[in-house]
Amino acid sequence: MKFRTVNELREMFLKFFEERGHLRLASGSLVPESDPSLLLINSGMAPLKPYFTGAIAPPAKRAASCQKCIRTPDIDRVGKTSRHATFFEMLGNFSFGDYFKKDACKWAWEFVTETLEIPQDRLYVSVYLEDDEAEEIWISHVGVPAERIVRLGKADNFWEHGVGPCGPCSEIYYDRGESESCGEETCAPGCDCDRFVEFWNLVFTQFDKDDKGNYAPLPKPNIDTGMGLERLAAICQGVDNLFEIDTVRAILDAVAAKAGIGYKKNDKFDVSLRVIADHIRGTVFMIGDGVAPSNEGRGYVLRRLLRRAARHGRLLGIDGAFLADIARVVIEYNKDAYPELAEKETYILKIIGLEEERFSQTIEQGMEILKGFITKRIATAQNVFNLYDTYGFPFDLTKEILAEAGILADEEGFNKLMNEQRERARAARGNDSSWDAEVGQGEKKEENEAESRAHSATHLLQAALRKVLGDHVFQKGSFVGEDRLRFDFSHFEAMTAEQLREVEEEVNRNILMATPSDIRVMTLNEAKGMGAMALFGEKYGAEVRVVKLADSIEFCGGKHVSNTGKIGLFHINGESGSAAGVRRIDASVGLGILGIITGIKTEASEKTLHLQNEIKELQKEMKRLKSSSFSVPQEITKEVNGIMVSIVKLETSDVNALEQVADSVKVKNLTSVVAVGGADKEEIKFVVAATDSAVEKGAHAGNIIREIAEICGGRGGGKPTFAQAGAPDASKLQEALDKVFELV
């Protein structure tokens, strides 16, 4: 058996079935485009479900693909076993009412034994226990010995999901040898041990199950196969597990180098290395497909993967952020098959860096609190909830860390507290309906002409944002009101003033062109062919409505203006953060601009009036200052114990004036004390300043000012170098100043 790289195996599979009349399909996005039942694509056939159900006509009767997939139910087992992963690639060949069992089995065996040259004495086949037809095909038409075929029950070899199309399966197994066996006499394909690895599942969709449990034959049965690329690579590369295949091992080695450790030197460290290698793969591909970290839905799956990877980095002793560096390795090894990763590299690395930084800010405090839980051997629902609510520490991570210490978190109690908080938040939001009338990622319908203007403006806005910021921009939510709109979109940082100006100008340019709206109903494939953008998570049928407005082409069922000129004008009121990796723009259009202009004019008038009043007050103050101007008399200076002591009497109590005089007199002598006193309208103010050298000789401005202020019935104090005070008795001002010489 020849060593094959992951990239070679992927290409060999697709080429093999292309040569047998199959249309090569590109991998669909990890985000389901038209299947609300799925959070993320979790199998090779998931993006093709509309073809199997007949909702959409397939582009060809035969197809083959390599599909990106994410599965998280077994996330806690990742890194601990040889075959569990959250991200994987699924190879598959499909027949939509064309060939059936015979060709599917024959081609699968041919690819495995002839193209890949996997030894036949290492291969086994399983069939559904009632599927005599499949067993006969394997024996008579493919040539598999009967003793290498096993029959398994529904749990292993029958695919069904509720009512609808379903059918038996047939799987191909690779025997890793007796050394990997559980040792039981019954050990055979289907056993839970690691000896027999199932790597290709052929699903024969031949029945239609009704709600009464009846299985009626389908008039045109289908073929749906799935083969894990990583499992296949592990077999062809002769390695123990999927973490040691070339593309994943490169990631694992990069993490090990970052941590300064070796692989297979420490079992605990090996688990962390494998967790990081797996999770960073899923992270890179999810962000590349437009998923942003959040606390709900697929965004939470991404956040969970990122934060688990970051935590395991800390367990390895990695200091500081490191995941963006590892992500570069993922992109390097996958960019040929998935060029969009290289195109979006900057965005992907930025999101990873921001999320890792955000997590590092919460994990230190959270870990200290968790240590307390572990020490006390208890973690109540309220404590765990407070850890999440106050510090943002993810519950899944809390549960995982506690489990490692043998402590069971109260998940039911935590969920109850979370639901109570959601209800409180929902009730609070109900009091403010002005901007909170959005539903998920959809748009408010779109009911009068003013809202049509705003709705059309959101389309132009998205197109402008993608032009200015990049193709990573996708709508994450919107609200359309009368002459105003709110638009949430995927972006990793605040927009600059220049970017906002460019977007605003681009939208207004398309408005002023007065381009007629082009609205058509067409097939889903036709719409995708012309580059129409769809909303993530929205369900579309065989036909869709496409709206073209200037540079914007989107799937949309709402009401729009007949030409862009009717929008009027577009103005961005502000840009802010909405969630992690999501920004928000508030804008006005049409008559809403009139309100802005009126507001600007009103504000300008108010500011003008304010300035005029301020000028009048300043003019009055100038007159007052002129009328109360004073002349600075010559200071009286005497030398006392090696210190030059000066006193000055002014006709003003303005402290600023006293300080200026004190400073000007003080600079005349290196060692000096200056006391300035002033009276104005029966009010006295004192300022005393001393140089550092005077202080060294025993002078203290604070002590001096306290004594002279008391003479005038006042109080004061301060530092050795500067002090100020006030007093009511102006008649004793000169007496107080004369006292300074004695005090020094």
**Model confidence pLDDT, tens digit, residues 357-414:** 888 877 777 777 888 888 888 778 888 888 877 767 778 888 888 888 888 888 888 8
Torsions phi, psi of 204, nearest 5?
A: -100, 95
pLDDT score for 631: 58
Strand-strand pairing, 683-690 and 672-680: antiparallel
Based on the number of CB atoms within 10 Å of its own CB, is 556 exposed (0-12), middle (13-18) or buried (19 or more)? buried
Task: Determine the average pLDDT of the residues in 226-236.
Answer: 96
Decide: helix, strand or coil at residue 244.
Answer: helix
CATH of 636-743 among 3.30.365.10, 2.40.40.20, 3.30.2130.10, 3.10.310.40: 3.10.310.40
Closest CA to 647 of 597, 588, 704, 697: 704
Which residue's structure tokens are 């003033």? 497
| Tens digit of each residue's pLDDT (9 = 90 or more) over 321-340 | 999 999 999 999 999 999 98
Mean of all residue pLDDT scores within the chain: 87
Say which residues have a Cβ less than 8 Å from residue 623's Cβ, sequence separation at least 6.
Answer: none
DSSP state, 563?
B
pLDDT score for 654: 83
The more confidently predicted of residues 55 and 563 is 563
Torsions phi, psi of 467, nearest 5?
A: -70, -40
pLDDT score for 82: 76
Closest CA to 536 of 14, 17, 36, 21: 36
Whether the CB-CB separation of 243 and 249 falls below 8 Å is answered with yes
Closest CA to 83 of 279, 275, 241: 241
Task: Determine the average pLDDT of the residues in 177-201.
Answer: 90
pLDDT score for 116: 97
Instruction: Give me the helix-helix angle, 323-334 and 297-315, nearest 10°.
Output: 110
pTM of the model: 0.65
Which residue's structure tokens are 């003013």? 450
Whether the CB-CB separation of 643 and 671 falls below 8 Å is answered with yes
% of the chain exceeding 70 in pLDDT: 93
Whether the CB-CB separation of 135 and 149 falls below 8 Å is answered with yes
**H/E run at residue 389:** helix 381-391
Strand-strand pairing, 672-680 and 643-650: parallel
Say which residues have a Cβ less than 8 Å from residue 72's Cβ, sequence separation at least 6.
Answer: 86, 301, 304
To 10 degrees, the CA torsion angle through 276, 280, 281, 287?
A: 160
Strand partners, 460: none
Torsions phi, psi of 523, nearest 5?
A: -70, 160
Asked if the model's pLDDT at residue 697 lies above 70, the reply is yes
State in Å, rounded, how far the first CA of the chain is from the last one.
Answer: 102
What's the CA gap between 734 and 677, in Å, rounded?
8
The more confidently predicted of residues 424 and 480 is 480
Q: What angle do CA 629, 632, 638 make, to 5 degrees?
A: 160
| Tens digit of each residue's pLDDT (9 = 90 or more) over 556-604 | 888 899 999 999 899 999 999 887 678 999 999 988 787 777 777 777 7
What's the CA gap between 62 and 564, in Å, rounded?
43
As a CATH number, domain 6-240 is: 3.30.930.10
DSSP state, 732?
G
| Long-range CB pairs of 697-704, under 8 A, 24+ apart, other chains included | 697/641, 697/642, 697/643, 697/671, 698/641, 699/643, 699/673, 699/744, 701/673, 703/743, 704/673, 704/675, 704/740, 704/743, 704/744
| Tens digit of each residue's pLDDT (9 = 90 or more) over 108-148 | 999 999 999 999 999 999 999 999 999 999 999 999 999 99
| Tens digit of each residue's pLDDT (9 = 90 or more) over 143-184 | 999 999 999 999 999 998 778 889 999 999 999 998 889 888
- Which amino acid appears at position 655 of this protein? V
Task: Determine the average pLDDT of the residues in 416-422.
Answer: 82
What's the CA gap between 363 and 361, in Å, rounded?
6
Q: What angle do CA 21, 22, 26 make, to 5 degrees?
A: 150
Which residue's structure tokens are 């029959």? 151
Domain ranges for the chain? 6-240, 246-359, 377-428, 449-589, 636-743
Same fold, 6-240 and 636-743: no
What's the CA gap between 321 and 313, in Å, rounded?
9
pLDDT score for 3: 95
| Tens digit of each residue's pLDDT (9 = 90 or more) over 703-742 | 999 999 999 999 888 999 999 999 998 889 999 999 999 9
| Tens digit of each residue's pLDDT (9 = 90 or more) over 462-504 | 999 999 998 888 888 888 888 889 999 988 889 999 999 999 9
Task: Determine the average pLDDT of the residues in 659-666.
Answer: 88
What's the CA gap between 499 and 502, in Å, rounded?
5
Strand partners, 713: none
| Tens digit of each residue's pLDDT (9 = 90 or more) over 246-295 | 999 999 999 999 999 999 999 999 999 999 999 999 999 999 988 888 87
Within 10 angstroms of residue 149's Cβ, the number of other Cβ atoms is 17
Architecture in CATH for domain 449-589: 2-Layer Sandwich (3.30)
**H/E run at residue 399:** helix 395-404
Distance of CA 570 to the CA centre of its chain: 29
Within 10 angstroms of residue 79's Cβ, the number of other Cβ atoms is 22
To 10 degrees, the CA torsion angle through 295, 297, 302, 307?
A: 40
pLDDT score for 118: 97
The more confidently predicted of residues 549 and 626 is 549
What's the CA gap between 468 and 269, in Å, rounded?
44
